[in-house]
């Protein structure tokens, strides 16, 4: 026997719960179930932001917010005018969850624990009668006369309206292709760069605060903090490149060269500054007199890479060594040989083709009463709470559309 619900949501993650709760609040008479394949839901919420849950980002202008989405920038502008960062903050506040803004604009619960968000969702789901069905991996679904028939590994369900909120799930993408939707081939987004280079060896944890990075042979470039890791480079300067260059870098098989300007000055200006340092610190060792506000360990590595030994004083360095140091500081080329996942957060570029979605309602243009929210569609963002904001906005609009 099939179990019937008015609305079924496939996927018990951020978007799925947010949609379910908002539908139930508006129309308590509707029967709603969330089908989650795991034994518990909200796993991405749990690990996001190192277990603190990076709920959203303190950007309050829709036209600025959309710039953080390599895929989805144009499509999300309208939706963000309907449900935006400020609405997210208010939504959680009204349910007893206070958020705070950190220096870099990321927003977290004041509790610094993702469990606060999970507890809020579970409490609100229970309060409004949203049924959460765990261990219900969906095998297939099909269109029937009054809606949809869904087969899970355990049960059969029917519903009038169906919401897909399964994130980057290849099985679901295959099922959607089976009913006529197009899927943009997924590739990783948000990853760190693997680099084996003497200049960054044995100095993990060093951060250069403001760098410019370019991928040679492409138009890709970014700016921001750069972190040296055990295997290469990370932090916003790199992660932005990985997001905006997701498709291009995949085509290069993650083998390419980057040029890094560690000091945001051109080479000629840098040479003039180094000449002044040569006079000012004539009797001091070059490796010990860090310039341009660079971390000491990185400065030392770049000095040595310029052919200046540990024992050399500023007065002793010749013109070619000075030029070489300026080039290391302003146009250091590194060979990237691979990628690593950024923390536990795996984001993909790809998914349901955006042309097949009505962004006023997040409903399928091909199949009536079929809705989408979150990363199941071909939208992804840079790190900083933007992927969650896409989930909240899409899920909220789905709830508004379904209950009209």
Give the confidence band of 403 by pLDDT, cuts at 50, 70, 90: confident
Return d(Cα 337, Cα 231) in angstroms, integer. Answer: 10
Return d(Cα 395, Cα 72) in angstroms, integer. Answer: 15
Within 10 angstroms of residue 104's Cβ, the number of other Cβ atoms is: 12
Phi-psi map region of 258: left, alpha, beta (phi>0 left; psi -120 to 50 alpha): beta
Q: Which token pair is 46?
A: 């749990």
The residue assigned the tokens 């709920």 is: 55
Q: Which token pair is 312?
A: 């050399």
Q: Assess whether pLDDT exceeds 90 at residue 39.
A: yes
Q: Report the DSSP pairing between strands 3-10 and 32-35.
A: parallel
% of residues, the chain, pLDDT over 90: 96
- pLDDT tens, residue by residue, 73-91: 999 999 999 999 999 999 9
Q: Which token pair is 380?
A: 């992804």
Return d(Cα 318, Cα 278) in angstroms, integer. Answer: 10
Residue 147 φ then ψ, to 5°: 155, -120
3-state SS assignment for residue 99: strand
The secondary element (H helix, E strand) that includes residue 256 is strand 256-261
Q: Which token pair is 292?
A: 């341009």
The residues near 217 (Cβ < 8 Å, ≥ 6 apart) are 256, 257
Q: Assess whether pLDDT exceeds 80 at residue 165.
A: yes
- pLDDT tens, residue by residue, 270-293: 999 999 999 999 999 999 999 999
- pLDDT tens, residue by residue, 203-219: 999 999 999 999 999 99
Instruction: Give the pTM.
Output: 0.92
Please, are residues 178 and 225 in contact by the beta-carbon 8 Å criterion?
A: no
Which of the 8 DSSP states describes residue 314? G
């Amino acid at each position: 026997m099939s179990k019937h619900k008015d609305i079924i949501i496939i996927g018990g993650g951020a978007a799925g719960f947010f949609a379910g709760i908002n539908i139930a609040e508006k129309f308590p008479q509707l029967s709603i179930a969330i089908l989650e394949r795991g034994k518990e839901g909200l796993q991405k919420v749990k690990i996001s932001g190192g277990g603190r849950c990076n709920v959203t980002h303190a950007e309050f202008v829709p036209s600025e917010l959309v710039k953080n989405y390599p895929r989805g920038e144009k499509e999300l502008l309208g939706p963000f005018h309907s449900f935006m960062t400020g609405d997210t903050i208010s939504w959680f506040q009204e349910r007893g969850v206070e958020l705070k803004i950190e220096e870099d604009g990321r927003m977290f619960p004041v509790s610094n624990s993702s469990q606060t968000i999970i507890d809020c969702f579970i409490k609100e789901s229970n309060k409004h009668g949203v049924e959460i069905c765990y261990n219900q991996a969906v095998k297939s679904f099909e269109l029937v006369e009054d809606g949809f028939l869904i087969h899970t590994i355990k049960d059969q369900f029917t519903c009038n309206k169906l919401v897909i909120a399964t994130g980057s799930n290849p099985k679901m993408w295959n099922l959607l292709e089976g009913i006529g939707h197009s899927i943009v081939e997924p590739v990783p987004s948000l990853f760190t760069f693997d680099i084996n280079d003497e200049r960054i060896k044995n100095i993990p944890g060093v951060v250069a605060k403001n760098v410019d990075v370019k991928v040679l042979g492409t138009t890709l470039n970014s700016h921001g903090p750069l972190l040296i890791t055990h295997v290469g480079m990370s932090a916003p300067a790199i992660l932005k490149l990985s997001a905006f260059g997701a498709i291009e870098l995949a085509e290069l098989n993650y083998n390419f060269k980057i040029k890094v300007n560690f000091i945001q000055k051109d080479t000629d200006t840098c040479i003039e500054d180094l000449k002044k340092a040569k006079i000012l610190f004539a009797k001091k060792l070059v490796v010990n007199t860090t310039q341009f506000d660079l971390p000491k360990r990185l400065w030392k590595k770049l000095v040595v890479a310029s052919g200046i030994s540990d024992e050399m004083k500023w007065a002793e360095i010749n013109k070619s060594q000075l030029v070489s140091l300026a080039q290391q500081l302003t146009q250091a080329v590194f060979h990237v040989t691979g990628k690593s996942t950024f923390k536990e957060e795996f984001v993909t570029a790809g998914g349901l083709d955006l042309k097949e979605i009505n962004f006023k309602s997040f409903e399928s243009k091909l199949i009536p009463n079929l809705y989408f929210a979150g990363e199941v569609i071909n939208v992804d963002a840079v790190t900083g709470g933007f992927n969650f904001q896409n989930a909240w906005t899409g899920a909220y609009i789905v709830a508004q559309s379904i209950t009209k």
